[in-house]
Chain A
Amino acid sequence: MKAIRLRLWQDMVNYKKPTSFQLKETYPLPPYSTIIGMVHSLCGYEEYKSMKVSVQGKYFSKVNDLYTRYEFKNAMKYELARHQIQVGEYGICQGVATAELLVDVELLIHIAPEDQTLVDEIYDAFIRPREYPSLGRREDILTIEEVKLVTLTETELEQQIKSLDGYYAYIPYEMVRDERVNLTNNVTGVTYTGTRYKLTKNYELVNYGSKKVPKLFRRWNKVDVVYASVTALAEETFMIDEDNFVAFMV
Chain B
Amino acid sequence: MKSDKIRLTLGDWQWNASVIGFINIVGEENVCHIEADTVEFWPEALDGFENKYFAYFINTYEKTLSWYKIVNFQDRLNTYEENNFEEFDLKALEFLNVYIKDVKRYIKSNSYKAAYELIDSEVELLSFEKQLITIKEPKNQQRFDVDKSEIVNEVKRRFLLLQQIINYCASSEGRRYIGAKNAIYNIINNAWNGVSFLNSQTKEKNIYSDYKSYFVDTATGYLQSEKGKYKYNCFVCDAPIKDMSNDLSFLNATGFDVARKSSHVWNFQNDITICPLCKLIYSCLPAGIIYTYNRGIYINQTIKLKDAVRINNKIKSRILRSQDGSMRPIYHALVSVLHEQENDSAKYELADVQVVRYENESYRFNILAKPMLQIIVNSKKELDSLIRVNFIENGRNINVYDEVIGRIFNNQNLFTLIHKMLYGKLSDASKCYFNGSHVRNVLIINQLICSRLGGMKMDNTYLVKKSREAGESLRNKYFNKDSNHKLAGICYRLLNALKTTNENMFMDVTLNCYLYVNSQVPKVITDALGRGKDFSTMGYAFVSGLIDGQDGSGNKEKKAEGE
Contacts and interface: CB of A to CB of B under 8 A. Distances in A.
Contacts of A189: 343, 345-346
A195 B346 CA distance: 17
A196 interface: yes
B268 A73 contact: yes
B504 to A, nearest CB: 29
Contact of A20 (B254, B349, B411): B254
B349 A190 contact: yes
Contacts of B345: 187-190
Interface in A176-227: 176-177, 183, 185-198, 208, 215-220, 226-227
A23 B370 contact: no
A218 B267 CA distance: 10
A151 B254 CA distance: 42
Given A190-B346, A227-B367, A22 B253 contact: yes
Contact of A195 (B37, B248, B259, B353): B353
A72 B348 contact: no
Given A20-B254, A64-B364, A193 B352 contact: yes
B352 A74 contact: no
Contact of B352 (A18, A22, A73, A194): A194
Contacts of A195: 300, 302, 352-354, 367
A7 interface: no
A185 B370 CA distance: 7
A187 B349 contact: yes
B17 to A, nearest CB: 13
B485 interface: no
A98 B357 CA distance: 14
A196 B303 contact: yes
B307 A191 contact: yes
Contacts of A63: 410
Interface stretch (B7-15, B101-109, B152-160, B178-186): B7-15
A152 interface: no
A169 B347 CA distance: 23
Contacts of A215: 269
B261 A93 contact: yes
A237 B408 CA distance: 37
Contacts of B362: 22-23, 98
A22 B263 contact: no
Contacts of A162: none
A62 B302 contact: no
Q: How large is the interface on A (under 10, 10 to 19, 20 to 34, 35 or more residues)?
A: 35 or more
A45 interface: no
Contacts of A100: 364-365
A215 B267 CA distance: 10
A117 interface: no
A227 B351 CA distance: 11
Nearest to A79: B260
B412 interface: yes
B36 interface: yes
B264 A71 contact: yes
Q: Which of B248, B343, B351, B410 has the largest number of chain A CB atoms within 10 A?
A: B351
Interface stretch (B26-34, B40-48, B231-239, B416-424): B231-239
Contact of A229 (B253, B307, B352): B352
Contacts of A60: 411
A90 to B, nearest CB: 11
B346 A208 contact: no
A68 interface: no
Contact of B12 (A17, A217, A218): A17
Given A194-B303, A195-B300, A217 B269 contact: yes
A61 interface: yes
B303 A25 contact: no
A100 B367 CA distance: 13
Nearest to A168: B352
Nearest to B244: A217
Q: Which of B14, B261, B303, B346 has the largest number of chain A CB atoms within 10 A?
A: B303
A104 B248 CA distance: 32
B254 A21 contact: yes
Given A62-B411, A176-B303, 16 more contacts: A19-B248, A21-B256, A23-B253, A25-B363, A61-B410, A61-B411, A73-B263, A183-B352, A187-B345, A187-B346, A193-B350, A194-B303, A197-B302, A215-B269, A217-B232, A218-B266
Interface of B: 10-12, 14, 36-37, 231-233, 235, 248, 253-256, 259-269, 271-272, 300, 302-304, 307, 343, 345-346, 348-354, 362-367, 369-370, 410-412
Interface of A: 17-23, 25-26, 28, 60-64, 70-74, 76, 82, 93, 98, 100, 168, 176-177, 183, 185-198, 208, 215-220, 226-229
Please name the 6 residue pairs, one residue from A and one from B, whose CB atoms are nearest each other, closest first: A61-B411, A196-B302, A71-B261, A187-B345, A185-B351, A193-B351
19 contacts: A19-B272, A22-B362, A26-B365, A62-B366, A71-B261, A71-B263, A73-B259, A73-B262, A76-B260, A82-B260, A100-B365, A187-B348, A187-B349, A192-B303, A194-B303, A195-B367, A227-B352, A228-B352, A229-B352
